[in-house]
Amino acid sequence: MRAVRFNADASEELEAVVTYYEGRRPGLGALFLAEAKKARDQIIEQPYAGFQVSLDGSSQ
Task: Dump pLDDT digits (tens) for 2-53.
Answer: 777 888 999 999 999 999 999 999 999 999 999 999 999 998 999 888 877 7
Contacts for 51 with CB less than 8 Å, ≥ 6 apart: 59, 60
Is there a domain that residue 40 lies in? yes
pLDDT at 3: 74
Q: What is the C-alpha to C-alpha distance for residues 47 and 30, in angstroms, rounded to an integer? A: 25
Is there a domain that residue 28 lies in? yes
Is there a domain that residue 33 lies in? yes
> What predicted TM-score, i.e. pTM, was given to this entire model?
0.75
Is there a domain that residue 13 lies in? yes
pLDDT at 1: 61
Range of the domain at 22: 8-45
Is there a domain that residue 1 lies in? no
Whether 29 and 19 have beta carbons less than 8 Å apart is answered as yes
Q: What is the C-alpha to C-alpha distance for residues 39 and 52, in angstroms, rounded to an integer? A: 16
